[in-house]
Amino acid sequence: MTYATRTATALLALLFACGSGDEDGTGGGDGEGDSVGADGGYTGDPIDDAQDFCSLMADAVCGKLMTCFTAAERSANGMPATEAECLDQQSDCSPDNVCDSGQSYDATSAGACVAEYQSSSCEDVRSPSFEPGPACSAVCQ
């Protein structure tokens, strides 16, 4: 299972445990260099370096968890309490395990995947039927 798929699966598992709420936000992530839009989100430019994808994806996922769920919800559902704790849990990603053996990394899909995560609304990510956009399933081919 690829890193993008594992990350999506882990996020979905966390989301299934939670009910809906009325918090709103667009998640976080610092982005990389010129690929950060005026709103601070990733623009979706291709991510040539798989390690950059790891970092940006962790930022996107952890940003959603911190923005879209209250501290009480995170605690009650076994989610990381802080963004730093969340990022630490995502640190297993490396260029060697972004894709499964025999698959190739697609920089264009990687950039679009990060942008899709970041642009998902809290209403979307809190839904038990939430699935990241199609680009995430195309990161490794």
Give residue 20's pLDDT band: very low, low, confident or very high (50, 70, 90): very low
Write the pLDDT tens digit of every residue in 54-96.
888 888 889 999 999 999 999 998 889 999 999 888 777 777 8
pLDDT at 10 over 80: no
Using CA atoms, how far apart are residues 102 and 31, in angstroms rounded to an integer? 28
Tokens encoding 94: 């490396």
Is-above-0.85 flag for pTM?
Answer: no
Percent of the chain clearing pLDDT 90 (strictly above): 34
Q: How far is CA 99 from CA 1, 60, 76, 80, 124, in A?
A: 8, 19, 32, 25, 26
Cα–Cα separations (whole angstroms), residue 130 to 4, 92, 120, 134, 135: 15, 24, 9, 12, 14
The mean predicted confidence, pLDDT, of the chain is: 75
